Structure 1
Amino acid sequence: MASGTKVKTYHFLPYKYGSELLLDIGRIETLNNYVLDSTLHQLSFYEIIFIEKGTGTFSLDENKTPISPRTIIFTSPGQVRRWEIEEPVSGYTLFFEKDFLHLFFSDELFLYRFQYFHQYSRPTDMQLAEQPFAQCLELLYGIEREFGQLQNDSNHLIRAILYQLLVVLNRDYAGVYNVQRDTYVHSDFYRFRSLLEKKFMHDRSVEAYSKMLSVSPGFLNKICRQFSGLSAQQMIHYKLISAIKKQLYQNKSAKEIAYEFGFSDPSNFNRFFKKLTGITPQQYRKEI
């Protein structure tokens, strides 16, 4: 990959169907301009991909997912993606803006309640058995049918089906990876996840987030372990390493990254990266 590789960003088209609708669905193989080549790109919205046929790999930030039937891939805004297709891919893509749900539920943290979005310590994909995958497809068919006959109240029906699908997927994800599936763990945990997305570049101590949340460091650690299985500090470090790997993937130099992420010098940056990953940034770059 050439140094300074540009990543194209795709934005949501809210007025595609006339009035504003912040969700869309389509067959991957029939969508014009859907990126199925090796172009590096990112989305400014959420997407869930349901693979029915095809093989290859799908790279999301630094992680590669093998493409195979009944694979589901979850992407959050800003993640860098790349398709590498071997056999033609078919299936569904479902994508939406956060406000499609946030405004209705009056909950800015709503999408942080699901294990698979904004995930950086566990996989952002899963493979399901036939029956649960078929259950997901049935819900997608319901959304697709509604798009075929849009009415004034269609957005409410589509939102209801999406909500059901997100909960079903969260249960499936929890089952596949043996993690907490309760979407109503203490709300401070979701507030922490949201703050971490916005503040990790500058705030990297448990104490800083505890102060922002007005809770004790011990309490923050307790609720983090309850839902994620990780301490608050581990979550901060995983987020930081994920962001650093993303920069290495785009071929930025270790020196550039060190100063961008606030390390005093490249040697401190190298030590931190090796301590968390077991390899140096240079070794990681060679691997990818």
Structure 2
Amino acid sequence: MRKFVFNKEKYGFPLLMDLHRLEGNPNLYFDSKPHITDFFEIIIFEKSNGIIELNGHILDIENNSFFFVCPFQKKSCKISLSDIKGFHLVFKNDFLADFFDDKLFAYRLQYFYNAQHPQYLKLQNSDYVTIQTVLNEVVNDIENFQNDSPHILRSLLYFLLSKLNRLYSKHYNVSDNTLSNSIIYRFKELLEKHIRNLHAVDEYCNLLRVKRNKLNVVTKEHTGCTSKEFIDNRLHQEIKMELYYSDKTIAEIAHALNFSDPNNLTRFFKKKEGVSPSAYRKKHQIDRK
């Protein structure tokens, strides 16, 4: 699978983020084959058409639509480049952690690392204009980089990411609080690191050094799910990605994801998805042709 790597020296000086307009970009390219990146992306379509496959969701591109992609999440794009208009914001995880002096900042944003809802948002025109104004300011400051640009970019990006978090949270009816108990953000971080091996609430409680009831309370407040549902949703997503993008057998997927038996994976998946893993894979293989 192709991997896109961030180029921090693009402008002749180290910069772990970039933002450019889609229109008029001679290097604009969207890969129609499954691929990954080693950086975060926010792809913004003011005007275009096509689809993006992301996290098991086939999402239509509409005017004023946003796609939020985390490092190493698999996606593919079928996008018309004619008459395209919008923005492409990319940044490394270190950029957010260092820029905002918060290693958990990405986990505070509901549109990243979300297994409950699509990492997608369509804005009303009035909201889009607000975001567009900030995006244009960021582009202009990168193109005219000065000594104080890091400070300006920090404030603009903090506003942009936080405003989008509010809009996303309102749309999907989840908490927009980015200053909740840090347990939930560490829980999200641990899920990304250990979901292929650890599936039990108590295992995460041990890593977090919190009681089960406490973890359940903070998870419910932030996501609307219990801690068990939160883990199961993320595990369900991981299985779908294996079925969708790999050629592994069900038994091989079960082994890779630490299920004691392939039948246990099948029962878990059918309960979540409503169809067997084999039926899901067959349907999506047909859909992708």
TM exceeding 0.5:
yes
What are structure 1's unaligned runs of at least 5 residues?
Answer: 1-6
Question: 2:21 pairs with 21, 24, 27, which one?
Answer: 27
Aligned to 1:156: 151
Cα distance in structure 1, aligned partners of 2:113 and 2:123: 21
Structure 1 residue 176: deviation in Å?
1.2
Aligned to 2:108: 113
Q: Does residue 36 of structure 1 match 2:33?
A: no
Q: Does residue 219 of structure 1 match 2:180?
A: no
Instruction: Provide the identity percentage.
Output: 36
Cα distance in structure 2, aligned partners of 1:223 and 1:31: 44
TM-score using structure 2 length: 0.93
Q: Give the conservation status (yes or no) of the 8 Å contact 2:45–2:62.
A: yes
Cα distance in structure 1, aligned partners of 2:15 and 2:80: 34
Which has the higher mean CA deviation after the structures are superposed, 67-76 or 202-211?
Answer: 202-211
Structure 1 residue 108: deviation in Å?
1.2
Structure 1 residue 103: deviation in Å?
1.3
| AA matched with 1:268 | N
Deviation per CA, 1:54-105: give whole Å up to 9, x if none.
1111111311110010101111111111111257332110111122121133
Deviation per CA, 1:243-279: give whole Å up to 9, x if none.
1111111142212211111122322221121122111
Aligned to 2:262: 266
Cα distance in structure 1, aligned partners of 2:258 and 2:177: 36
| AA matched with 2:276 | T
Aligned to 2:177: 182
Q: Does residue 83 of structure 1 match 2:83?
A: no
For the aligned residue pairs, the C-alpha RMSD in angstroms reads 1.4
What are structure 2's unaligned runs of at least 5 residues?
Answer: 285-289
Cα distance in structure 1, aligned partners of 2:14 and 2:56: 34
Deviation per CA, 1:181-216: give whole Å up to 9, x if none.
111111111111111110112221111111111111
Cα distance in structure 2, aligned partners of 1:189 and 1:209: 11
Alignment map for 1:225-244 (pairs within 5 Å): 225-244=220-239
